[in-house]
Amino acid sequence: MNTARQLRDKLDHARRLLDDGEPTLAELAPAVGLSASHLQRQFTARFGLSPAEYLAQRKLGTLKGALREGSDVSAALYDAGYGSPSRVYEGGAAKLGMTPARYRAGGAGEQIRWSIADTALGQALVATTERGVCMIELGDDASVLEARLHDEFPKAQLDRVDAGRDEFLAPRLRAVADALAGRQAQVPVDLIGTAFQKKVWDALMRIPRGQTRSYAQIAQQIGHPRATRAVASACAGNHLAIVVPCHRVVRSDGSLGGYRWGLPLKQRVLERERAA
């Protein structure tokens, strides 16, 4: 067996151990026959996450799945491996975008105000929690846009505000409309995703207007140089059109790659930003 294959097998073994328990790096390294520093580097290179980040994401995924299925919050926290509610409320709530109790079964107990408005890029559904805008969906069919919101938060309190006439929603709707029109705007956001997704989305929001980055460059920037496909997946999972500018990410050869809201719109927005 060659050296590269042996290394892959050891890394796959490390991942299985992380899937089955919560070993520390110091425990994991001797179990797979690598030094801690070598395991850290190679695991991150292969899977796009450090062992600790992989474990955290697995636990969060387990928690979210249990909450979606209606499990008791305390039981879900324990089964996911958090040990105590304080552990997830300290770190997990930020990753969920809301507390576990409110994320349970699709955001039950969460109040989300939303409206559909005509913008420079067509119809846009804008939804916001008390922390910030959590969804900006574009499309031609208002019923499809509303269905996407219900799919994401099926048990949240979803309050539609006609034409955005609401002291809370109205200024956020105006800010989003400005952003979609290509004007400078400060849009408070509530990013709801995994730790890795949020790391990618944060990197996207630092790309200057009029410039692009490749998926590989974003992967390099966030410290996961081999996670190009994971970066592309995080871009595809973005629910905040334009404000989280996944349209500024292209393939290494300069071609557009994919875009949740269609390549013609991606091309149009990029040309507008370059011209500005």
pLDDT tens digits, one per residue of 50-101: 888 777 777 666 656 555 555 454 554 545 554 444 444 444 433 444 444 4
What is the spatial distance between Cα 194 and Cα 246, in angstroms, rounded to a whole number?
16
Most confidently modeled range among 40-49, 53-62, 108-117, 180-189: 180-189
Lowest mean pLDDT among 45-49, 159-163, 255-259: 45-49
With 0-12 / 13-18 / 19 or more C-beta atoms within 10 angstroms meaning exposed / middle / buried, residue 229 is exposed
Catalytic residues: 246
Q: What is the pLDDT of residue 88?
A: 45
Beta strands in 120-273 (DSSP E): 122-128, 133-138, 157-160, 213-214, 249-250
H or E element, residue 90: none
Q: What is the pLDDT of residue 155?
A: 77
Q: What is the pLDDT of residue 136?
A: 96
pLDDT at 1 over 60: no
DSSP states of 221-248: HTT-TT-HHHHHHHHHT--BTTTS-GGG
Nearest to 262 by CA among 244, 236, 233: 236
Look at the block and give the residue holding tokens 């997704």.
197
Complete domains list, the chain, with CATH: 3-96 (1.10.10.60), 111-180 (3.30.160.70), 195-275 (1.10.10.10)
Q: What is the pTM of this model?
A: 0.63
Question: Averaged over 220-246, what is the pLDDT?
Answer: 91
What is the spatial distance between Cα 28 and Cα 13, in angstroms, rounded to a whole number?
10
pLDDT tens digits, one per residue of 195-226: 788 889 989 999 999 999 999 999 999 888 88
Most confidently modeled range among 165-174, 191-200, 245-254: 245-254
Confidence class for position 235, pLDDT limits 50, 70, 90:
very high
More confident residue, 170 or 247: 247
% of the chain beyond a pLDDT of 70: 79
157-160 and 213-214 strand pairing? unpaired
pLDDT tens digits, one per residue of 173-187: 999 999 999 998 888
Question: Averaged over 151-165, what is the pLDDT?
Answer: 81
Q: Which residues have CB under 8 Å from 217's CB, separation 6+?
A: none
Confidence class for position 106, pLDDT limits 50, 70, 90:
low
What is the spatial distance between Cα 259 and Cα 28, in angstroms, rounded to a whole number?
39
Q: What is the pLDDT of residue 111?
A: 85
pLDDT at 137 over 60: yes
Nearest to 51 by CA among 31, 28, 80, 84: 28
Mean predicted lDDT score pLDDT of the chain: 81
What is the spatial distance between Cα 168 and Cα 173, in angstroms, rounded to a whole number?
9
What is the spatial distance between Cα 276 and Cα 273, in angstroms, rounded to a whole number?
5
Cβ proximity of 266 and 235 under 8 Å: no
Question: Averaged over 169-174, what is the pLDDT?
Answer: 88
Residues in the chain: 276
Q: What is the pLDDT of residue 240?
A: 94
What is the spatial distance between Cα 158 and Cα 124, in angstroms, rounded to a whole number?
16
Q: What is the pLDDT of residue 246?
A: 96
133-138 and 122-128 strand pairing? antiparallel
Reported as half-sphere exposure (CB side, CA atoms, 13 A), residue 84 has a value of 3
What is the spatial distance between Cα 87 and Cα 100, in angstroms, rounded to a whole number?
11
